[in-house]
Each structure stands twice: as structure tokens, then as C-alpha cells.
Amino acid sequence: MDRALPFLCVYRRDPNRRDEGTAKLVTSEASYLCAPGAEVERRGLKRLVRRLAETAVDQLGSFLILEIWSAPDRADRDKITGELILPRPEFRILTRRSHEAEGAVATLEFALQQIRLHRKTSQVQIDLHCQNHPPGKKPLVSQAAESKTGCDVLGLEVRPVYRDHESGEVYDRVLRSFRRQISHALKKSFFAFALNRTEVRPEHYFEFGSSRLPKQVLAVDRQLAELNSQFNFLLLVTPINAERAWNDFSERGYRKPPVFRYRPLDADPLLLKRRLMKIATERVDDPTLSYVFRQTQYELDRQITMLSDIGTFRFLPGNLQVFAAVKPKLRDLALVILQKLAERDPRSTKSNQLGAGKFAKLAEKEIQYYRDRWPAFTARVTTRDDIYSGLMVSGGDLLIGRQTRIAPGRANALLQHEVGTHLVTYYNAAAQPLRLLQVGLAGYDVLQEGLAVLAEYLVGGLSEARMRTLAARVIAADQMVRGTSFPDVFELLVDEYQFEPRTAYTITLRVFRGGGLTKDALYLRGLVEILEYLGRGGDLEPLLVGKIAVEHVPIMEELLHSGVLRSPPLKPKYLETAETQRRLEGISSRTTVLDLIEKERSEA
């Protein structure tokens, strides 16, 4: 029992049958009991459960005991061919009492009906006034004791769709998905029970999750985070001879593809993979965290493979597994943006541009703002020769290419992009017990870059030139995946979309680096996703907890409600201004990227 909770999930092992996987349906909860099924071994079990119920009733007002067991194994066959078909999830709720529409039983019924497996919806049956315990066993709490103590007892029979009906072998992936869905259904039922029958007043059903992380979870988290920190993927796939390659490319009339050189790998990919596969993510009992850890493990595996393939034809297929290709809808949006915007943004000028040194001073001042509010914000600004130009956050530091030149009107927008988003989420994650939130969960780049570009808009710095660049990156990435050569992509940007040669070269380099990297298409894709998220009424706070993907937002909300995660200690500076709040409030379910462009253009 994680803490004083108004429920207890019970599973009794049956010594007379194989029942693989069923016990895991209760171990996902914050209050559970796995008990032996043999008569001799279970002496005292009823007394234990009754004392737990009496204590909880005294403290909380009522108590729910939910016993779970599996139905007999059986196979489903096609009526015509006789072939085996994938089974449908089936549940039977057993209760001695009638139930109300807003009560725990009705809530459980509805929640279980939402479970899908093998593309099939669940069937749920409610049996009233019946024996609410497994067949062949005696009730944990008699009907008289149930009435006397003031507790409620429910039985839940589950069809074991998570294992083979003959051998009993568990389908690991099916069980993990099934557990996650059932766990949410049970929490919703406990939430309804607490509101209707107890003195507990939770604000969300997520509050009934575990509030502490087991040692195994913390160990796996740290192992994954430590291995992730052994290499800087983006730095390793970025050429170190970008300027020399540009000189050669331009001198040869833009017709011969440039040859890029990369940093030597400072870690053996084979050894990294060996360490990665020794991390026992399968031992994590919590279905939600197990899902997150496995995702990260798979993505790290693919990234390490990509490191081995830098500069070869094998790099691109690996990239497509991690960052994906450009979808037609995103490509069409990029084309519309390039057609809609003028060749040059009136706010974009090369005169009086800030060099790396001046921008570094602005960045240090911005970092000091956050350090004053939270001393653990220890970010540093470093000017690097091996990046040449551009900005990059590596770990908790900001790296600036020595030849970087930034228009004064873009400086604040870039500060909010790099410091106010990437560094703030990095150090917010440092305040959490999960270290993976610092290095990034699987697929975090889309949301991170989308949030960072949104920050540029919120401070009025999302210029037309910037939008043209983001759109051009999408087009260049799409062309690269289609097999278009470096010179032809460069020529397309210059001749078709009127980019200056040096700008076109930089865009093309970024999508061809390593052997083909579509990561740059994520900026525009991320902006689309963040607008859709906010348009649905999504809150910004879960996005600031750390480096996560949109699909992880419900998980972050669950962990925040249960107390596993803390509210982020820092909020971006730009959120404190009235103008930012006005712009945020102006985002609705109908707001698109093109709407942002029109708004920026009207206020320019």
C-alpha cells in the first residue's frame, strides 16, 4: 500500500491451474495484495483484509475491495474457415449490491468498454446479487462482514487475452498494453467510489497512482540516462568542415556535391549497444513507465546504429526510423508558406548584425535571469570553432558558432528558443526524479522544437524570413528522401524559392548531414502539433517538465497528479508578459500556422 487509499486490489493465486500474467493486472496499482491460494498458506488472509478494511473505513469513511481473476482459457475461431482469430477483451463485473449510474460499478463498466485490443472493443457484463469471488474459493469478506464494516467488495473476471490458450505463454506486448488500459479503467472506478462513498476528495483519477518510484524504476532510468549522455548525437552528425566545403562547392559552380568530414566517435557503438541491451526495462512493473523506458531504449538503439553509419548510404534508413519522412500534408503546408511569403522580410537585414560575442553576452544575461530565480540553473555559454555558425544546446549549455551573425530583431526570439525553451526544460527536468526527462524521452524533438518556435511567435519574433527557412527545410528534407542530389536541392532553393546561395547551402547541408537527416522538418511539424494541442485546451505546464513528446503529455499529467513529479520550478520569462498572454489566448482550435503568419505580418 503506497499510502492511505480507499481501495485494495486483490489477486489470489490458484494452485490448481496455470495463470500466467494475471497477477500483473493488480501490481500496477498503488494498493494491491497478491495472496497464496493454498488453504494452509492463506490462513489469516481474511483477517488481514478485514483489518485493512476496518482501518480504512475509520480513516476515510469507506473502502473498496476489488478482487481480480481470469476466466477459463478458450480460443475463438472463424465460423466459416475454422481458423483461429484474435480474441476480443471480455470482462464480467460481479457485485452483491445494485449500483447507481454515477457509482464505481457503472464507471468501471464504461471505462472497461473503452479498452481496445487487436482492433476490437471490449464486452462487459455486470452480474448483480451474485458471488463476487473466484470460483472454487471462499469470499474474502462475507456479506455480513461487508455490511458491518461498511466496505464494498467487487469481483472482476477477466478473459486472459494476454496469453496463449493452450500453452499459457504470455504475449508480452499484448499484456503491457492491456495492463495500461485496465489500470486507467480501475483508477477511474476508484475515483468515482472515493467521491461517492468516502471523505477523500481527489481532483483527478490520476491521483490514485503510486506516489513513489521503486528502486528498479530509478535504476533503469539512471542507466538509460547515463548511456544517452555518453554521446552527443547532433554534434557527431554535424560536419566540422562546413566552411571549407562551402568554398569548394561555390568555386566549382555549385555542381559537385561537397564532401563533409565528421568528428571521430568517442565511444564504440558496439559497446554502447551491449550496455544498452543489458538495461532490464522488462523488469519495470509500472506499465506506463515500462512503456516510456522501452520506447527510449528502442530509439537509443537506432541512434547508436546511425552513429556507426555516419557518411554512408545506411544512415538515411536509420534516420527514417527515428525522425520519419515528410508527410504530404506537411509538405503541402511548406509549399503554401513559400508561395505566400515575399522573397525578403522587411525586418530581415544584414546591417548591424550581432556577432557571436555580442549575442553570447545577451545569452549570459538571459541565463542570469533564471539563475537568480533558481540557483541550480548553471548553464554556460560557449563559443565554438567547430560549429562555425549557428546555435546549439548541448546538455545544459548553449553553444554558439564563432561565425554566427544574428539580426538584432531576431535576437530575443532566439534567446527564447534556446534559453527559454531548451535550457529551461533541461533544468526543470533536473528537479525531477526521472533523469530521462533531461536527456529526452523517445520522439521528444518534435514537441521541443515546436514549443521553441512557438516561443518565437509569442515574443513577436517569428519573422517571415524565419518561416520561409522552416518551410524550406521541410522541402529540402522531402527532396533528399526522394533521392534528389545535394546540388539539385540547393538549386531548387535558389532558383525556385529565391534563397540566397549561402542560406540555401546551410539549409541543404543540414538535411544532408550524416548521410541524410530529416530532423529539420520537425520544426514546422512541431509548430503544427503545438497549435493543435493548445487548440484542444492543452496546458503548457506539463510541456515544461522536461523533454517529452506530445504522446507523453497524459503520462506527465498522471505523474504530476500522483505526486511522482513536481511542478516545474522555472517558467519561461516570456510567459510573464501581457503581450504573450494575449497571443496565447488568441490561439483557438481553428488557429493554423498561416494564421500566425498573418498576425505577424499585420503587426510588423
The CATH number covering residue 110 comes to 3.40.630
Q: Which of 113, 191, 157, 279 is nearest to 558 (CA)?
A: 191
pLDDT along the chain (604 residues), means of 10: 92 90 92 81 82 92 94 90 90 84 87 93 89 86 86 94 92 92 95 92 90 91 94 91 94 94 92 96 86 94 96 96 96 95 57 86 95 95 80 89 87 94 95 94 95 94 93 98 97 95 95 96 96 92 93 90 91 92 91 90 76
Residue 344 lies in a domain: no
The radius of gyration of the chain's CA atoms, rounded to the nearest angstrom, is 28
Number of domains present in the structure of the chain: 1
DSSP 3-state assignment of 591?
coil
Q: What is the pLDDT of residue 350?
A: 55
Q: Which of 442, 412, 437 is nearest to 574 (CA)?
A: 412
Residue 132 lies in a domain: yes
CB of 63 closer than 8 Å to CB of 8: yes
Residue 293 lies in a domain: no
Nearest-10 Cα torsion for 360, 361, 362, 364: 90
CB of 410 closer than 8 Å to CB of 466: yes
Q: What is the pLDDT of residue 101?
A: 61
Residue 95 lies in a domain: yes
Phi, psi of 422 (to 5 degrees): -65, -45
DSSP 3-state assignment of 336?
helix
Which domain does 157 fall in, by range? 7-199
CB of 140 closer than 8 Å to CB of 37: no
In sequence order, what are the beta bridge partners of 67? 10, 155
DSSP 3-state assignment of 156?
strand
Q: What is the pLDDT of residue 191?
A: 95
Please tell me the pTM assigned to this model. Answer: 0.85
DSSP 3-state assignment of 140?
coil
Task: Determine the angle formed by the axes of helices 287-308 and 269-277, rounding to 10 degrees.
Answer: 170
Residue 366 lies in a domain: no
Q: Regarding beta strands 90-95 and 151-158, do their DSSP bridges make them parallel or antiparallel, or are they unpaired?
A: antiparallel
C-alpha cell at 213: 518510484
CB of 69 closer than 8 Å to CB of 157: yes
Buried b or exposed e, range 574-594, using 16+ CB within 10 angstroms? beeeeebeebeeebeeeeebe
The Cα–Cα gap between 54 and 346 comes to 74
The Cα–Cα gap between 465 and 463 comes to 5
Nearest-10 Cα torsion for 526, 527, 529, 530: 110
Q: What is the pLDDT of residue 40?
A: 58
Residue whose C-alpha cell is 479498452: 115
Residue 53 lies in a domain: yes
Residue 215 lies in a domain: no
Helix/strand/coil (H, E, C) string of 367-387?
Answer: HHHHHHHCCCCCCCEEEECCC
CB of 574 closer than 8 Å to CB of 580: yes
Residue 49 lies in a domain: yes
Phi, psi of 397 (to 5 degrees): -125, 155
